[in-house]
Amino acid sequence: MTARCKYFGTDGIRGTVGESPITPEFMLKLGWAVGQVLKNGPQRHKVLVGKDTRISGYMFESALESGLSAAGMDVRLLGPMPTPAIAYLTRTFHAQAGIVISASHNPYPDNGIKFFSHAGTKLADEVELAIESWLDRPMRTVSPEQLGKAERIEDAPGRYIEFCKSTLPFDIDLKQFKLVVDCAHGATYHIAPNVFRELGAEVETLGTQPNGLNINDRCGATYPQTLQKAVLELGADMGIALDGDGDRVIMVDHQGNILDGDDLLYIIAIARHQAQLLTGPVVGTLMSNLGLEQALQQRGIPFLRAKVGDRHVLELLQQQQGILGGETSGHLLCLDRTTTGDGIVTALQILAIVIQTQSQLAELKRGLHKYPQVQLTVPLSSSSTGENASAQDILNHPEMRAVRQQVEKILGNTGRFLLRPSGTEPVIRIMVEGPEGKLIAELAQQFAVVLQRIAGE
């Protein structure tokens, strides 16, 4: 970020419902502030608003609609729709912005707000800062004749389904596949199964009965074990697990092996490279497995690391004129197909590669030899996270620095570790990787014990 935001994190604004800033009052003011920043001239402007399936989405949808209307912005309500669908529809409707009410892969007590520009990309840092500056001003409603109007777009799902299908070559169908699709009881529940079925696949579904409380609950991309079991029991060719808002995907091959974002990024990168369609470097993050970097470099494919967060991956891709990047979590960017991370579109690219190479999914990742990697999360108490800087203070504690030096000496050039505050939750994330699984597990636990002790002081 060019300057430190008070509310915006790495992926919009997120937190626990009912706790500041995730309250109806804040969302009302936020909608108004967004309207103030995006208005440009006397003509009418419109903003698209979509949401995932959390029960709190109804409340925040109404609050944002009121705030936007008070600022003179017309609102188009999409209802439950995947995050990447809102990015796409914002472009096709020539809207000033798209707003997503979602906490992505978090459980239902959390919610948040993400924004897309008129081009279907994340808002620039300076726009987020401008919105925050308006949040500090008194809210004033435009005159009655200037109030924004709200309409509901009924055909949004169909529009997005057609877009997803269009990202496959026209001569490819999925008739040969039996797929299990896990929608995490989230925003893709009425989208993803139809995409794959309309392309000819036999589809079994999981996580397609949202009740407002079960989003991401032991299902979807954050819990692929449910999909793994179903693929084996049903004898499916593959499984596709999406997260609550549909921008992540994890896949399972016919043998029950889980493929994360690094695996999928490798498969797409190799296929694009072999077809001479890969431009620029492949971009991962500081969390991407060292084995991915080495496997791509062995094939002459440059690999760069961005800070964690898809916005940072996108920024580096744009700087380097690249088209392909992503995160281990399954949030992949295929900029030759769309403008943002899209779990359904990513899965379709993998399926197309399986067909074009006449290979099984398990075969396509054989050139990738990942290092054992351990990831742990250390929760922070509210007292230790009163400000964003305090998490950094914990990481800079003398005892923490001493442990880092010790681990660096042990790993040498054979492994890596990363300690970072989360941009979306009050936690510190630990990642350690190296050739010996037992050793890195011990080192990761050593970090966790020290962090917990310091955070509790």
Which positions are annotated as active-site residues?
104
437-455 vs 398-411: helix crossing angle, rounded to 10: 170
Q: Residues 59, 71: contact at Cβ < 8 Å?
A: no
How many other C-beta atoms can be found within 10 angstroms of the C-beta atom of residue 132?
18
Distances (CA, A) of 18 to 27, 56, 70, 111, 421: 11, 10, 23, 10, 23
As a whole number of angstroms, the distance between CA 288 and CA 132 comes to 32
As a whole number of angstroms, the distance between CA 373 and CA 417 comes to 9
Rg of the chain on CA atoms, in Å: 22
The secondary structure of the chain in percent helix, strand, coil, rounded to multiples of 5, reads: 40, 20, 40
**Which element (helix H / strand E) includes 97?**
strand 97-101
As a whole number of angstroms, the distance between CA 386 and CA 325 comes to 33
As a whole number of angstroms, the distance between CA 250 and CA 457 comes to 38
Distances (CA, A) of 83 to 99, 127, 439: 9, 20, 39
Q: What is the signed CA dihedral for 127, 311, 395, 425, rounded to 10 degrees?
A: 80
What values do phi and psi take at 57, rounded to 5? -60, -35
Q: Nearest CA to 96 among 148, 57, 51?
A: 148
**Which element (helix H / strand E) includes 306?**
strand 303-306
Written as six digits, the tokens of 18 are 């009912």
Q: Residues 209, 178: contact at Cβ < 8 Å?
A: no
